[in-house]
Structure 1
């Protein structure tokens, strides 16, 4: 009887901790499950918020890209008008044509480049470079074309960027034309100079055509030294080939003009080099 009672007490003492342990484990599991559930809900909520903000950012960026593309297209169209105006230059209308071209270029800067600058200020504008690069290249081409025809010198990158600074809000990082877009625009400039030189030779402006030839040759030589050190740019490589063709066309046109000029025999007793009366002496009254 004594042993059975003692055994019963021992068994009760042994089972109570076991039950307590089971209840503790069950409570811990429930707590862990609750924490895990709340943590999962919090994680899902934060991810939804993050994806929502990212979607809003992408939508805003796409809308901005569309506006930038439109501004770039307007810059391209109106810069081409400036280039066409410069091509009207001749012996007797140089000042008039260049004055009109400079006014048109100033209008492009104030109306269209300013819109692009305002659209990109305060943003990582390098992300949208592909959207606005064509317009900037055309703008560089028009500005450098005007400068060369007026002064015979090259408009450098620092001078171009200085004209854009007044268009920017001082509290934001200003839009600056990068080196690659400037060089791509400069490569396109050589094609316009080639057309100008070949068009001036029949008008008797061989000296002007030779000046253009030397200028274009210097640009090509300079870019030949720079391009190998640049990052891989298929656009630049393609334009280098086109630039070499422009140099050769100007050189051939100037050389042909010299050869044709050397074939004429001046009129005896006359200083006229273009007379068709070759070798015929002057008639004395």
Structure 2
């Protein structure tokens, strides 16, 4: 009988185990619910971060397009230059470039200052490259020298709040802008040759050669240099076009004769007005 009571008490103890398990499962359920709530909150915060980042990217792309469009206007203005209106054209171009800086670059700086702006580099890089191209183009036409990266970044510092990290143009975007500059210098050189400014065209030719030589030394060491490697080929074409134009004028310049208005015996147009058609 005692044995039965012992077994019965053991059995009774065994019967009390399920309620203990039920209490353990309840605590686990509460912990799981709390963890799920924390996960949902974290996921919601991350989703908000992505949405804000996408909205910022759209604004940055818009600012980059405005910079590109207005920087191109500055470049077109510089191409109006001639030996008769050099100062007038450059004064206007530099004034327009200052307006691009204060109006459109300012918008970009306001969007990116104090953030990890390198994350959005692909969104604003085209505009920055065009801005570098316009700024260096103006500087060369004014002084015949290269505008350096630290000089460009110095003009951007006043646009930023002193208490936050300022937007600074990186080396790669600066070099890509220089690569595009050589194309504009090629067009300028051809135009100067047409106006008889051969010496100025030769100076442009040497300047473009120097840029091309320096960049060919740097490109192999650029990790993200796929764009630059493509532009290097275009730069070489610009160098060759300038060289060919200068060489052609140098060789054939002494052979050039006016097409009209000469009555000298050496003119092949002698008596052209008397020719019966």
TM-score (norm 2): 0.91
2:157 aligns to what SS in structure 1? helix
Residue number among 83, 102, 105 corresponding to 2:97 in the alignment: 105
What is the RMSD of the two structures over their aligned residues, measured on CA atoms?
1.7
Aligned length, in residue pairs: 263
- Partner Cα separation in structure 2 for residue 241 and residue 174 of structure 1: 34
Aligned to 1:15: 8
Aligned to 1:44: 36
Q: Deviations over 1:99-128 (max 9, x none)?
A: 111100000000000110001112111111
CA contact (8 A) 1:264 1:278 kept: no
Moved more, 166-175 or 256-265: 256-265
1:127 lines up with 2:115 in the alignment: no
Q: Deviations over 1:37-92 (max 9, x none)?
A: 11211121111111111111111111111111111111001000100010011011
Aligned to 2:49: 57
Which structure is larger by alpha-carbon Rg, 1 or 2? 1
1:175 aligns to what SS in structure 2? coil
Aligned to 1:117: 109
- Note the 1:141-156 alignment, pairs <5 A: 141-156=133-148
How far is the alpha carbon of 1:234 from its aligned partner? 2.1
1:276 to 1:257, Cα distance in 2 relative to 1, 3 A: farther
Aligned to 1:197: 189
How far is the alpha carbon of 1:277 from its aligned partner? 5.0
Aligned to 1:268: none
Runs of 4+ in 1 over 3 A off after TM superposition: 275-280
Q: Deviations over 1:188-210 (max 9, x none)?
A: 00000000000110111000000
Segments of structure 1 that go 5 or more residues without pairing to the other structure are 1-7, 266-274, 281-285
How far is the alpha carbon of 1:18 from its aligned partner? 3.6
TM-score (norm 1): 0.88
